[in-house]
């Protein structure tokens, strides 16, 4: 008897977009295994369980009974994080979103920003700190974002770390994934000269976006292009596992960001009608 679906479950169309890399990973894993046992877990159900946990924020040991056992889901979560499968799937979908928007596969411009996030009880103290500027204890989540919205790079630091640490690590990640096309990086005033110098060494122009003096006293005014990263941060918040950092390992926290990004892109790519982001001719 089939179980009742959850709102976070993958549709057939969405699963078709991520099944090839997931199946290829499993075949490669089986080939390297000493026993050659492929295992009995349905990969689609494992992904459904991870999406459910990301969205609802449930603990590892408290999943719904009709999803795979938490130990199996945690096992695959760890393997996929170690092997970089979550990041590879996210990269494939990112390129597809750009193609659908009639853009080249890799961007020439990315936007970088950080946000401090509180952590849950039990998160190791050595991986956390206090953001002295925002008075927020926890971790700092740095994102490198493409103009259409997909995430290109993620870095998780203690909240006490200066923005420059993220500003140096994220352009390196973006350059690795975008190649020679990456030319410009937009940042806010929290990033200092060290980021500009590091970008120059990599032949990347780092541009600090400053507020328009005419907007003084008007409250929040979106800054051209740089506002995209603020919107992406907002889209992560409905994923309760990202509203507060529950993961003991920073790389696990980064993996969750990639999964949330992938879930959003899957919805965009399988939407029945184009979204306002997609540069298509509706009259065609």
Query: pLDDT tens-digit profile of 12-58?
Result: 999 999 999 999 999 998 877 656 556 678 999 999 999 999 999 99
Write down the pLDDT at residue 35: 61
% of the chain residues with pLDDT over 90: 73
Cβ 253 vs Cβ 156: under 8 Å: yes
Write down the pLDDT at residue 274: 57
Cβ 38 vs Cβ 76: under 8 Å: no
Query: pLDDT tens-digit profile of 58-74?
Result: 999 999 999 999 999 99
Neighbouring C-beta atoms of residue 9, cutoff 10 Å:
18
Whole-prediction pTM: 0.89
Nearest CA-CA partner of 3 in 62, 69, 66 = 66
Write down the pLDDT at residue 240: 95
Q: Measured between alpha carbons, how far is 104 from 98 in angstroms, rounded to an integer?
A: 7
Cβ 250 vs Cβ 156: under 8 Å: yes
Nearest CA-CA partner of 140 in 238, 235, 264, 233 = 233
Q: Where are the domains of the chain?
A: 12-83, 106-245
Write down the pLDDT at residue 37: 57
DSSP of 206-236: EEE----GGGTTS---PPTTTHHHHHHHHHH
Write down the pLDDT at residue 216: 67
What residues contact 135, with CB distance under 8 A and at least 6 apart?
none
Residues of the chain with pLDDT under 50: 280-284
Token digits for 145?
């974002």
Write down the pLDDT at residue 24: 94
Neighbouring C-beta atoms of residue 284, cutoff 10 Å:
4
Cβ 241 vs Cβ 256: under 8 Å: yes
Write down the pLDDT at residue 213: 67
Fold assignment, 106-245: Nucleotidyltransferase; domain 5 (3.30.420)
What is the chain's length? Answer: 284
Query: pLDDT tens-digit profile of 109-127?
Result: 999 999 999 999 999 999 9
Helix (H) or strand (E) holding 109: strand 109-117
């Amino acid at each position: 008897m089939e179980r009742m679906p959850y709102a976070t479950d993958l549709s057939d169309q969405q699963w078709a977009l991520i099944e090839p890399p997931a199946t290829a990973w499993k075949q490669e894993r089986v080939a390297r295994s000493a026993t050659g046992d492929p295992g009995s877990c349905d990969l689609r159900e494992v992904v459904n369980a991870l999406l459910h946990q990301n969205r609802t924020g449930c603990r590892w040991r408290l999943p719904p009974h009709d999803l795979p056992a938490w130990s199996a889901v945690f096992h695959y979560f760890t393997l996929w994080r170690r092997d970089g499968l979550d990041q590879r799937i996210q990269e494939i979908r990112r390129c597809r979103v750009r193609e659908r928007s009639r853009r080249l596969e890799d961007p020439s411009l990315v936007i970088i920003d950080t946000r401090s996030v509180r952590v849950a009880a039990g998160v190791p103290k050595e991986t956390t700190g206090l953001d002295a500027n925002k008075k927020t204890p926890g971790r700092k989540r740095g994102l490198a974002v493409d103009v259409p919205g997909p995430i290109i790079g993620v870095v998780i630091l203690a909240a006490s770390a200066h923005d420059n640490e993220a500003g140096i690590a994220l352009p390196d990640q973006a350059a690795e994934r975008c190649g020679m096309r990456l030319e410009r990086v937009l940042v806010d005033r929290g990033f200092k000269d060290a980021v500009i110098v590091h970008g120059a060494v990599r032949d990347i122009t780092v541009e600090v976006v400053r507020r328009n003096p005419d907007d003084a006293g008007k409250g929040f005014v979106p800054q051209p292009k740089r506002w995209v990263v603020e919107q992406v941060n907002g889209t992560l918040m409905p994923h309760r596992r990202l509203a507060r950092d529950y993961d003991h390992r920073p790389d696990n926290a980064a993996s969750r960001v990639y999964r949330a990004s992938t879930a959003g892109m899957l919805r965009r790519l399988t939407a029945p009608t184009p979204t306002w982001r997609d540069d298509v001719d509706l009259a065609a």
